[in-house]
Structure 1
């Protein structure tokens, strides 16, 4: 565990780095992230609990679900007295075994992420549609992005969920600004098609 730059004793902000016993690919990484998020939900931690709720606020960084997320190296906190780096290496702190987690943790739990809120049988389809979009050839971004939206609609995501997934995925485009600008016209096309159906 290590502090973030903005960490203070009164407002803790830190990272927990979980070592794994084996190297894993992007699909397994994201499934493992979902499994850890599910365990936090089971324990009563969610992103934004209501003030009257007995649930607690989770500090899970949802922006790090993507397997190609960048992480900062540990750094000194703004106030050097708040800086820490703790390495837990006891009997109970072995590297996480991804295979065991992915085999034994139910991934069908409710999620706060639109891409994960579809039926469990479709979650793999959403991941596959995103993978196809991300592997599109240079110069095909416009068509591939629209195809991603159509795939998400076919998988059963509603318009709001599709728009959020597109907004998240635009950041991975070769031309992020172009893809973000394309979202409005895609959503308009999907909305028209839905009314016509």
Structure 2
């Protein structure tokens, strides 16, 4: 069985409705591991102290999902700190033994946004389409050789009724199942 790793970057998953519902639904899938990154790293994340463990976690996965709430048109601070520590380590400090081995691993983003879908369009309330806001992550995926997949976006995440939240979580599970079925496990190269 292949392994799909979902790294959840939320400042307090126990206080979340949307990201907690998505994470719980995804965790029910076989071969899916969901990791609450804030619980692991409540302070900072160190390239050397924590980077080795995170690199091993990524290398053990066949697919990676970065799940987070959009905050002021960007990712949460911990996701950026994780990128700085882990991806810098893997692709600049230990490329031959870590980064090169991660290349080819499919990446998907699952993000929640508080506003309506229509607000994320050219000329909309938030001025830019969601794909434009995700451009830095897409560029990172490209730089690291991680095939980019269409993201899963949940809009109005803080306004959804329980029924709508459950429907969105079911949509997320369906998206993950389709993505897992359509993305073969990468061939991992030996270091």
TM-score (normalised: structure 1): 0.28
More strand by share: 2
Higher relative contact order (CA 8 A, sep 6+): 2
Which structure has the larger Rg? 1
TM-score w.r.t. length of structure 2:
0.28
